[in-house]
Amino acid sequence: MSYLQQSLAPGETIVARFRLHWFMWIRFWIVIVLGIIAVVALLIAGIPWGALAAAILAILIAGYQWLWLRGIEQAVTNRRVVHKTGIVSRNTTELRLGSIETVDLRQTFWGRVFGYGDVEITGRGETAMMLDRIARPIDVKREIESAYSAHIESPQPGPTT
């Protein structure tokens, strides 16, 4: 079960989950490809122990990168925006929808071309959250602003007493 599902309060629902852009996985794939090239080159050169060492090193580096990327969760619920990193240890940044002041979009030229960017959410005081290299950042900005509008600006009527 994901951190997000575990941390939901009663009555809280997930509005949208945000994916990392595929560019974030490039380093993982480069390590895999370079590892394969190194292993093949060392086997051709007749250095089997070097090939084994290169394979183990590539697996360790790629495994770390895979775990790091898989440990990132980003979403908006009907009450908050959540950014979580880590698998064994966790680091979370959560911003309540009611405390959001701005949702800013940062996209470079290449980000516009390939469809990724950063979304910075600032709250009251010094609270800020950055969703880095997110896929479809305009949609992410829209989802956060829609959740804010739906659940903060026009809250659902609650039970009256």
5-51: pLDDT as tens digits = 888 889 888 888 999 899 889 999 999 999 999 999 999 999 999 99
Residue 80 is assigned to a structural domain of this protein: yes
Is the pLDDT score of 93 beyond 60? yes
Please calculate the CA angle 27-137-26 and round it to the nearest 5 degrees: 10
Is the pLDDT score of 125 beyond 80? no
Instruction: Give the confidence band of 158 by pLDDT, cuts at 50, 70, 90.
Output: low
Angle between helix 48-70 and helix 26-44 axes, rounded to 10 deg = 170
pTM for the model stands at: 0.76
Are 60 and 138 members of one domain? no
Number of domains making up the chain: 2
Instruction: Give the confidence band of 137 by pLDDT, cuts at 50, 70, 90.
Output: very high
Please calculate the CA angle 8-135-90 and round it to the nearest 5 degrees: 40
How far is 143 from 106, CA to CA, in rounded Å? 16
Are 38 and 107 members of one domain? no
Residue 102 is assigned to a structural domain of this protein: yes
Q: Select from 12, 44, 68 the last residue of a domain.
A: 68
Are 81 and 55 members of one domain? no
Neighbours of 147 (CB within 10 A): 20
Better-predicted residue by pLDDT, 152 or 86: 86
Residue 90 is assigned to a structural domain of this protein: yes
Residue 158 is assigned to a structural domain of this protein: no
Residue 124 is assigned to a structural domain of this protein: yes
Is the pLDDT score of 160 beyond 60? no
Are 100 and 83 members of one domain? yes
Is the pLDDT score of 156 beyond 60? no
Are 96 and 83 members of one domain? yes
Contacts of 129 (CB under 8 A, 6+ apart): 81, 83, 93, 95, 120, 121, 122, 123
Residue 85 is assigned to a structural domain of this protein: yes
Residue 160 is assigned to a structural domain of this protein: no
Domain assignment of residue 92, given as a range: 3-20+75-153
Residue 104 is assigned to a structural domain of this protein: yes
